[in-house]
Amino acid sequence: MGNTSIADLPPHIQKQVREKLEAESAQQLYNRIASAELAKRSKYRNVRTEFKSVQGFTVMADSKLEARLFARLDQEMVRGDVAWWIPHPRFPLPGGVVYEADALVMERFAVPGNAGGALRPRVYDAKGFDRQDARNKRKQVLDLFGVDVELVRK
């Protein structure tokens, strides 16, 4: 039995075949859309946002709160309060664990007797919801690197 065209079938069978194909196509479309929607939705309902920095790079912010932090850092750069910043610095922790903050910032501050001032590093992490494992990792970063990660809240 070779390939058979729907047109070769009797009219009442053609109707049944078309209805079956349309029903399957509609179900497949529904399943594809439903699975895509479920895949997009994150556990904490954050919305990933692309951010273009005045420094010339583009980064994917994991949330709108993080994108607002990046925008604030860019504004502070333009104002001259921040020399530069980088997104998503990583701190290696014992056991192969890594803590990834949202931004490492080199902030300008005035020093008496130094006309140019100086720079100090600051590390920020934007959190809508702060989990215990993140708190524990920040404690390890402070203990191992002497870096006190500052939280940015809504």
d(C-alpha 124, C-alpha 66), whole Å = 10
The sign of the torsion formed by the CA atoms of 106, 110, 112, 117 equals positive
Single pTM value for the model: 0.69
Please report, for residues 38, 74, 142, the alpha-carbon distance to residue 60 in angstroms, rounded to integers and kept in the order given. Answer: 20, 15, 26
- For the chain, the structural domain boundaries read 9-40, 49-152
Please report, for residues 21, 22, 35, 115, 118, the alpha-carbon distance to residue 31 in angstroms, rounded to integers and kept in the order given. Answer: 15, 14, 6, 65, 58
Per-residue confidence in pLDDT tens, the chain, 154 aa:
567 777 787 888 878 877 877 777 777 767 776 666 555 666 667 788 899 999 999 999 988 999 999 999 999 999 999 999 999 999 999 999 999 999 999 999 888 877 777 899 999 999 988 899 999 999 999 999 999 999 999 8
